[in-house]
Amino acid sequence: MRRKLSRSTVALALAALVVGVGTTAALRDRLAELEARADAAGDLGPAVAAATDLSRGARIGVTDVRAIHVPAGLIPSGALSEAADAVGATLSGDVSEGEILTEARLARAGPVAALVPGGFRALAVTVALAPGLLAPGDRVDVLAVAPGRPFAEALAVGVEVLMVREAALAETSVATVVLLVTPDQAAELAAGRAVAELTLAVAPAEAPAEEVPMSG
């Protein structure tokens, strides 16, 4: 004689069936989603990635980049496809290790011109400077002290340091500091150093770039 199933047993069986069907449906939907993502990404394509963290203004060497293959749909517009295309170029911005390089991140210019945005100029000034006092990205005030005048005048305030090239002459440490300035500031600084001695005062990193007379 066949045993009659209790209502609770039947209910548990139906619940298990519903759960199983639901799990299967969820799994099927997840697989479909993954397949859709794979289709969107497409086949693998060539790209060039940074092999290490690189700083703005760096000239890219052979060991600084590596060739990779990633899904075509994940390759950004303007991405380089050959590592040789990046070697020798200058970075216009910081790049993190593993980041895909694009033409927009490269400057096909010299190491100084690559750092100068539109509307600005790079101006080099030579000053007495203790070693290690300045680094690219620092901000400085440019002060002019004319012979026989008992005060200093600020020709530019809070301008960015692009490069620092230090040298030792006899017992004096000097440096050529390349500054990012406006065309007007470049003209004023050039005129100022013809009649006065220029010196630099280190300013806060976010100092505003403006001309403020100073007296002492």
Distance CA 212, CA 155 (A): 7
61 and 120: one domain?
no
95 and 148: one domain?
no
Domain assignment present for residue 188? The answer is: yes
Q: Among 60, 88, 107, where does a domain finish?
A: 107
Domain membership of residue 133 as a residue range: 116-203
CATH (domain of 77): 3.90.1210.10
Distance CA 198, CA 124 (A): 11
Domain assignment present for residue 143? The answer is: yes
Domain assignment present for residue 48? The answer is: yes
The number of beta carbons lying within 10 Å of the beta carbon of residue 120 is: 19
Domain assignment present for residue 89? The answer is: yes
Q: Among 81, 107, 133, where does a domain finish?
A: 107
pLDDT for 113:
83
Domain assignment present for residue 79? The answer is: yes
pTM of the model: 0.57
Q: Using an 8 Å Cβ cutoff, are 124 and 178 in contact?
A: yes
168 and 94: one domain?
no
Give SS3 for 94: coil
86 and 121: one domain?
no
Distance CA 125, CA 178 (A): 6
How many domains would you assign to the chain? 2
147 and 186: one domain?
yes
Q: Among 90, 107, 124, where does a domain finish?
A: 107
180 and 124: one domain?
yes
pLDDT for 216:
36
pLDDT for 166:
81
Domain assignment present for residue 209? The answer is: no
Element (H or E) spanning 28, and its range?
helix 7-41
125 and 164: one domain?
yes
Domain assignment present for residue 128? The answer is: yes
Q: Using an 8 Å Cβ cutoff, are 126 and 176 in contact?
A: yes
Please give the chain's pLDDT, 216 residues, in tens: 555 555 555 455 555 555 555 566 676 777 666 556 655 556 888 999 999 999 887 889 999 999 998 888 888 899 999 999 899 888 878 899 999 999 888 877 777 888 888 899 999 999 888 888 898 889 999 999 988 888 889 999 999 999 898 875 555 678 899 999 999 999 999 999 989 999 999 987 664 555 443 333
Domain assignment present for residue 67? The answer is: yes
